[in-house]
Amino acid sequence: MRRHLILPFLLVLTLLSACQPTPLQEQQAYVFGTRVEVIVVSPDAELGRKAIATVLREFDRLHQHFHAWQPSELSDLNSAIAAGRPQQVSPELSKLIKESQSISQQGNYLFDPGIGQLIKLWGFQADEFKAALPDQESLDSLRKLHPSIADLSIDGNTIHSKNKAVALDFGGYLKGVALDRAASILHSQGIHNALINIGGNVMALGSKSGKKWRVGIQHPRQSGVLASIELDDGEAIGTSGDYQRYFELDKQRYPHLIDPRSALPVDHTQAITVVIPKGEKAGTLSDALSKPLFIAGPNEWREMARKLDIGLVLRVDRNNQLQVTQAMHERLAYSGTAEKPEIFP
């Protein structure tokens, strides 16, 4: 019996010029249950440090304010939903719910922040979790109730649900929101060249002394990099994997990525990486849209990618087979240990 919490981390490949050092300011922290890194390129070191500190404070605020199982505005809302009463929320939370409802609908609700009770039942709403299967009767009951973020009604800033089994968990969404917030903060403080990494969700701003930021994609079953990619200004890259939060029982792996249709953890995919082009919500989408592709499965992920208009996708299936879109293949530099990829148009 094994349980694991492995921090996903797109390796930042920052080889500096020997003749002209790059003026980098860098700080790491632990937020959103993962390791966070902010790298800023600025000749004004004090400005860079202050900008990073502002970003990290915002990360901490988001983490505390929208925590799913510790006291927070989000947990208060979940309590109200379970009690069947409407709840007044902040405009910020109301906006997040509306946005995530729209994103979930686009992905056929394979990504659904309304399944918090299901995530909790599987033991993943915890900093440390037990390697144990959920009670079958409780699992069957939740499957029958089929909670979804679509069950929430929004009237101004008042939230109500017709389904008391709905509980919001923004664990698959908030890191992306934080990337967009970080980009906005850095730009407002005059920082236009930076890299923000939140546990494998990365946004590139500008460049590193004229060179594109290059990041490495973690191999889901081996130590080290599967492939690397250079990111253009404003692009965001996100990875969902079964090697992040999971437990093993009787040689079976149970990851935290759960299919709302079956109420079971996904077992057909090891990892999905997507790249989202520059845009107002690039960070948010890099986090949220990797989930429906991960859950969709071997026969549906390409159709889902087309539906969501995602052209840059790398998938690793349960057998270590690499499946990659042509556009992504053309931009990847594979490591020497990578399997030969299957390329899709």
Residue whose token pair is 């290059």 = 214
Bridge partners of 215, per DSSP, are 12, 229
Q: Which pLDDT score, from 0 to 100, does residue 128 have?
A: 82
Q: Residues 169-213: pLDDT tens digits?
A: 999 999 999 999 999 999 999 999 999 999 989 999 999 989 999
Domain hosting 265: range is 2-45+193-344
* Helix, strand, coil percentages, rounded to 5, for the chain: 30, 30, 40
> How many domains are there within the chain?
1
Q: Residues 66-86: pLDDT tens digits?
A: 999 999 999 999 999 999 999
How far is 285 from 277, CA to CA, in rounded Å?
10
Answer yes or no: is 13 within a domain.
yes
Is residue 332 within 8 A of residue 215, CB to CB? The reply is no
Residue whose token pair is 């249709």 = 261
* 3-class DSSP string for 94-111: HHHHHHHHHHHHHCCCCC
Q: What is the mean pLDDT of residues 211-219?
A: 96
Answer yes or no: is 295 within a domain.
yes
Q: Which CATH number covers residue 278?
A: 3.10.520.10
Q: Which pLDDT score, from 0 to 100, does residue 127 have?
A: 82
Asked if residue 12 has pLDDT above 80, the reply is no
How far is 124 from 254, CA to CA, in rounded Å?
10
**Single pTM value for the model:** 0.93
Tokens of 155: 């009237």
Q: Which pLDDT score, from 0 to 100, does residue 17 have?
A: 35
More confident residue, 101 or 339: 101
Instruction: Look over the chain and give the mean of its residue pLDDT values, rounded to a whole number.
Output: 93
Under the banding of pLDDT at 50, 70 and 90, the label for residue 1 is very low
Answer yes or no: is 77 within a domain.
no
How far is 274 from 280, CA to CA, in rounded Å?
17
Q: Which pLDDT score, from 0 to 100, does residue 147 have?
A: 98
Reading across the β-sheet that carries 152-155, which strands appear in turn?
Answer: 87-88, 158-161, 152-155
Q: Which pLDDT score, from 0 to 100, does residue 14 have?
A: 42
Answer yes or no: is 169 within a domain.
no
Asked if residue 45 has pLDDT above 60, the reply is yes
Tokens of 85: 């009463």
Q: Residues 238-252: pLDDT tens digits?
A: 999 999 899 999 999
Q: Which pLDDT score, from 0 to 100, does residue 104 have?
A: 98
Q: Which pLDDT score, from 0 to 100, does residue 283 have?
A: 98
Under the banding of pLDDT at 50, 70 and 90, the label for residue 8 is very low
Answer yes or no: is 29 within a domain.
yes
Percent of the chain with pLDDT over 70: 94
Answer yes or no: is 271 within a domain.
yes
Answer yes or no: is 150 within a domain.
no
Q: What's the DSSP call for residue 151? A: G
Asked if residue 157 has pLDDT above 70, the reply is yes
Answer yes or no: is 334 within a domain.
yes
How far is 326 from 91, CA to CA, in rounded Å?
41
Residue whose token pair is 């890194």 = 37
Q: Which pLDDT score, from 0 to 100, does residue 3 have?
A: 42
Query: Which residue, 224, 174, 210, is CA-closest to 337?
Result: 224
Under the banding of pLDDT at 50, 70 and 90, the label for residue 5 is very low
